[in-house]
Every structure is written in C-alpha cells, then in structure tokens.
Amino acid sequence: MSVAGGKLTKVTVTDQSGKEVPGSLGDGDTAWAPTGGLAVSSRYAVHAEGVDTAGRPTASDSSFSTLTPTKDAGPHDNITDGATYGVGMIVRLRFDRDVKDRNAVERAVSFDTPDGVQVKGHWFSDRWVDFRPENFWSAGSKVTVHYRLKSVEVAPGVYGGIDSDQTFTIGRDKRSTVDAATHLMTVEKDRRVVETVPISTGKSSPASWNAYNGTMVVMAKIPSEVMDSSTVPGLEGDAYKERVPHSLRLTDSGTYVHGNNWSDPSVFGHENVSHGCVGLQDAKGDYGDDGSPAGKFYADSMVGDVVTIKNSVGKDVDPSNGYSGWNTPWSKW
C-alpha cells in the first residue's frame, strides 16, 4: 500500500484473528509492504497514520481481501496423525496436479525432531516428493511435519491447498536382513540380533522370479493378501491368484515378506523357490497360524520397519519402488 502525497508514519495490518502482520515502510516512507507473503482467501484490516504535504497528521482505516484460489494441488501424504512407525519410515507427499515450483513446496514443508536431524525432500515426479533424514530415524523420537502450503503458488494459478500438522512417533528399532545365499533372515531389535529365521526367497531362474537386492521398508500389513500374478508385469510361469497369510508389503511392484503355507518345511533355510518375495514357514489356511515363524514375525512388525535383501542374483531395487529411497545416496537425495 502507498500514499500519493505526504508520508506514512505508522501502518498496522492485522489478519482475521487480530494478529499483526510483520512489515515495514519503504520508498521514502510512502509505501508499506509485508515482510512475507499473505494468506490466500483472507481479509486484513489496515490502520495507517501519516502526515500530509503540509505536515498535518492524518489517519485512516481500511480493509482488503486476498484472492481465493480456484485451483489447488490436492496434496495428500501417507502419515496418520498420532501413529507409530518403524525407523525406516519415509514421508510421502503426493499432489493431484503438477508442481512447477518444487523449491516453494520444500520451503513450505518443515520437520520438528527432538534431535534436530535434517530432513530433505527428493522428487520422483512433478506430483510426488519423498522426505527422509540422512540415516534412519532414532527409536522413540516424536516427529511433527508442518505443511504450510495453502498460500503457496506451486504452479501458475495453482495453490498448495492445505496448512496442517501431522505428528508421528518412531517405535523400536527393528531391522531384518535377508541373505538369499544362506536362506536365512537375521532380525535385529535396537541393534542387537534377536533371531535368525529360515526363509525362502526369489528363485534364481527365471529372471522374473529373482528377489531384489537393497533396503526396503514395510509399507503395509495385510493379514491375508490376495496375490495375483496378472498384476506383476513380465512375471513368467503359470498364472496364480491366491490368498497369502501374514503379508508385509515391501514394494509397489509386489515384493512381500509373507507366510508360505504350501512349500514343504524342508525348503526353509535350504532353497529359494518364490517369485521374488521372502517366504517364512506358515500353516495351511488363508490366515495361517499366528504361532508360526511367519505369524510371529508379522505380529512383531510395523509399517516403517526395515528389510534388507542381499546376495540375490536379482537386480537392485529402484528407489522409487515402495519406500526404497534409502538406496539413494544422501548426496543425491
């Protein structure tokens, strides 16, 4: 705001809640500008004091409204407020419209952590950014994500849509390492080995049955998952569509740690026979047996737990496949 004659001596701008907007005089005390951006769809009250060209004091009160966006980017994340996740949890923010100003989005998303750890975003597309720290989260820490996107123009004429906070807690530190060569899974809790579980993972041939190498993260827990070969492009062999118990999803493409209740018990710890998943011994039935190796591992798992596969003849997991961004070096994140 500005005056055509005279000078401003004081300007007070308040928002709808009565909070004063920071700003300063400029251009020879003939104009006032806010220090930061104003909120969209908001009304502001203005009290201005000054002197006219003859030096006489004057004052005026007025108001104005900011624009109401006709388009927003429709942001949505993968966090449930108040939930607890494993140390490998990645915060994923997706948009319904393309984001052109990625830097503006990153400035509008901040993280509060008790240890002050830096959290950065990595864009996989114009509609998808993942956030994580350099290393796994600290067990027991509470993390708050602040979204201040409502007044951010993320693309021409498109605004961020939301101002909100999401708080989650990191649970105990559970990391499991699957060795495809020894057919064993080593389970660590709070950096101490607590169990070694016989497993069977991806068969070496055909290639489409190979397990991925790399660090993956539990994305979902499903007590009984329908696994359909038609949903996995390029998967060789006979078609199948079966219910599988105690399923922990690791990738979008269909990698799981799950109960295997069809193979002979002698397979576990000795052979790799799966279509790329990690199978643990389980009992017959859609839901298996909660007391089986698969059932016990499932019950003790949570979304965000880390599972690393090594020594597979398969390729490395793509960082965009599931919550696998930990495979991207921090220098490139």
Could you tell me if residue 331 is inside a domain? no
The reply to whether 138 and 150 lie within a common domain is: yes
The reply to whether 84 and 187 lie within a common domain is: no
Could you tell me if residue 329 is inside a domain? no
The reply to whether 180 and 166 lie within a common domain is: no
- Which of 170, 195, 224 marks a domain boundary? 170
- Which of 22, 45, 65 marks a domain boundary? 65
CA–CA dist 163, 50 (Å, integer): 36
- What pLDDT score does 79 carry? 97
CATH of the domain at 229: 2.40.440.10
User: Nearest-CA neighbor of 115 among 151, 81, 140?
Assistant: 140
- pLDDT (tens digit per residue) in 264-314: 999 999 999 998 999 999 999 999 999 999 999 999 999 999 999 999 999
Structural domain boundaries, residue 140:
76-170
258 is a catalytic site residue: yes
- What pLDDT score does 229 carry? 63
Could you tell me if residue 225 is inside a domain? yes
The reply to whether 33 and 102 lie within a common domain is: no
- What pLDDT score does 262 carry? 94
- In the set 183, 258, 270, 275, the catalytic residue is 258
pLDDT at 231 over 80: no
The reply to whether 311 and 286 lie within a common domain is: yes
CATH of the domain at 119: 2.60.40.3710
The reply to whether 96 and 236 lie within a common domain is: no
CA distance readout (Å), 54 to 5, 7, 266: 10, 10, 100
User: Nearest-CA neighbor of 217 among 170, 182, 262?
Assistant: 170
- pLDDT (tens digit per residue) in 65-79: 888 888 999 999 999
CA distance readout (Å), 273 to 262, 270, 320: 11, 10, 26
Of 6-15, 62-71, 163-172, 280-289, which range is least confident? Answer: 62-71
CATH of the domain at 13: 2.60.40.3780
CA distance readout (Å), 198 to 13, 187, 190, 287: 67, 11, 21, 20
Could you tell me if residue 31 is inside a domain? yes
- What pLDDT score does 53 carry? 86
pLDDT at 95 over 70: yes
277 is a catalytic site residue: yes
- In the set 122, 246, 275, 277, the catalytic residue is 277
DSSP string, 26-54: ETTTTEEEESSPPPTT-EEEEEEEEE-TT
Q: Which residues lie closer than 8 Å to 72 by C-beta, 6 or more apart?
A: 97, 158, 159, 160, 161, 162
Q: How many domains does the chain have?
A: 3
pLDDT at 105 over 70: yes
The reply to whether 132 and 178 lie within a common domain is: no
The reply to whether 304 and 288 lie within a common domain is: yes
- What pLDDT score does 27 carry? 87
Could you tell me if residue 21 is inside a domain? yes
Could you tell me if residue 109 is inside a domain? yes
The reply to whether 206 and 296 lie within a common domain is: yes
The reply to whether 195 and 158 lie within a common domain is: no
- What pLDDT score does 66 carry? 83
What's the predicted TM-score (pTM) here?
0.86
The reply to whether 311 and 182 lie within a common domain is: yes
CA–CA dist 232, 319 (Å, integer): 18
Of 1-15, 151-165, 192-206, which range is least confident? Answer: 1-15
CA distance readout (Å), 168 to 12, 146, 157, 307: 38, 12, 32, 21
Could you tell me if residue 219 is inside a domain? yes
Could you tell me if residue 22 is inside a domain? yes
- pLDDT (tens digit per residue) in 173-229: 999 999 999 999 999 999 999 999 999 999 888 888 899 999 999 999 999 999 876
Q: How confident is the model at residue 117 (pLDDT cuts 50, 70, 90)?
A: very high
The reply to whether 184 and 311 lie within a common domain is: yes
With tokens 């909660």, the residue in question is 290
- Which of 122, 139, 170 marks a domain boundary? 170
